[in-house]
Structures are given as structure tokens and as C-alpha cells.
Amino acid sequence: MANTNYAPLLDAALLEPETTLAQLRQLCDEAKANGYAAVAVMPSRVRDAAAFLAGSPVKVDAAIGFPFGMTTPAAKAFEAAEAIDNGAAEIDMVINIGKLKDGNDGAVYEDMRAVVTAVKAKGDYIVKAILETGLLTEDEIVRASRLADQAGMDFVKTSTGFRGEGATVPILALMREHTSARVQLKASGQVRTYEKAAAFTHAGCTRLGTSAKSARAIAEAASKKGVE
């Protein structure tokens, strides 16, 4: 029998600049009720989310260098370490897309490695690399996936959901092909329905990044289907 409850794989996000405290509280309440994996927030909301989720297994996931990835490695490393100190248990960082397109793989690696080093110095916390695959060629996706693996990232993630095309099964397959078994996959962008959640999970994803609204829809659909 296939488990149709994808709620435990969901990282439900509220990353828009106009997000209010009331909206964040509502999402955290839904995350606890539905059993989401994490609530993804901007760094300035980490303390608030941690307070709302206190005592629950739902984690706070901080978005770093978001959404463009163009801050310096030192800035990203500081932002990530501060987020951990403020209550985050997971970090999703946007890689330096421009440097990747320059062919400067060394700079892309150092950018990711700086964040991994800063976070792992705090403890066994999860770090995910957002590749923004909708803006990349196939060759760039391959290079970015390999660099993320080499840098010690725990996950490679397709996109922010703010730029370009989101996750697709072929892109996830390409990422899987060029990372070691240690590295997990996270689909983000286009994870809006129960059917998409199922497709991406079958493609090997162990996390699904989605909006608060889409997370709610997926959880509701799963509750109706139960276990088939």
C-alpha cells in the first residue's frame, strides 16, 4: 500500500515581504496540526516561528541569501549562523547563480562551503542548496549539483519558487544523477497539488517546498485519500 500522506515531507513557506505575524502564527498552527516537516521563513521571522512551534516536532527553516543568492559568502555564513542561534534547525541557501554562469566553480563552491561550515559548527543542522534550476542550463545544473555535494550540502533543492521554472521530474533526475546517495532531493516551485507532490516523491524527493496555501491543499487532499 502507498502512503498518500505527504504532509511530513512538506516545508511550508511564508517568504513574502508583506507577511504578517498573524499569518505566520496561522501557518505554524497548521504545520503542527498537519505534521509538516518545517515552516520556511525569512531570517527576521525565525524567532517568531520558533516561538510558535515550540514543543512541536515541526522545524524552523531559514531562507538565506534569498531570493537572489548574490550576497557574499561571509554575509550568507553570518546570516545562517544567526538563524540557527535564533531557533532555526534547517537552512535553505540560494547559491551564487551569476558566478556559476561565469564558470567560476571555485567561487560557487566556497560560497556553499562557507554556509555549511558555519552551520555545522553549531551542531548537526540541515543545510540545503537552492540551485534555481529554472535559470540554469543542463550543464549548469550538473555543475551546481556536483559542487553542492562536494561542499557538504545535505540537500539540493530546485528553486526558490520566485524565479524561472520550478521543479520538474527530468530536472530532479538530472540532480539525482550528479549527486551522491548521501545528498537528498527537495523539489520546490510547482509543488502546488497533491498530484505534483506524488510525482516528485516518486522521483526521489524526501522534501517538498511549497507555499502555505499549497501545503494546506496537499494536506487536505491527503486526508481525503488516506492510505490506498
Return contacts of 191-200, CB within 8 angstroms, 24+ apart: 191/166, 191/167, 191/218, 192/217, 193/217, 193/218, 193/221, 194/4, 194/6, 194/218, 194/221, 194/222, 194/225, 197/6, 197/9, 197/10, 198/4, 198/6, 199/169, 200/167, 200/169, 200/172
Extended strands (E) in the chain: 10-14, 38-41, 59-64, 90-94, 126-130, 155-157, 184-188, 205-211
Catalytic residue among 92, 111, 149, 154: 92
76 catalytic residue (yes or no): no
Catalytic residue among 76, 128, 157, 196: 157
32 catalytic residue (yes or no): no
Catalytic residue among 59, 99, 128, 186: 186
Neighbours of 83 (CB within 10 A): 30
DSSP 8-state code for residue 58:
P
157 catalytic residue (yes or no): yes
Active site residues per annotation: 92, 157, 186
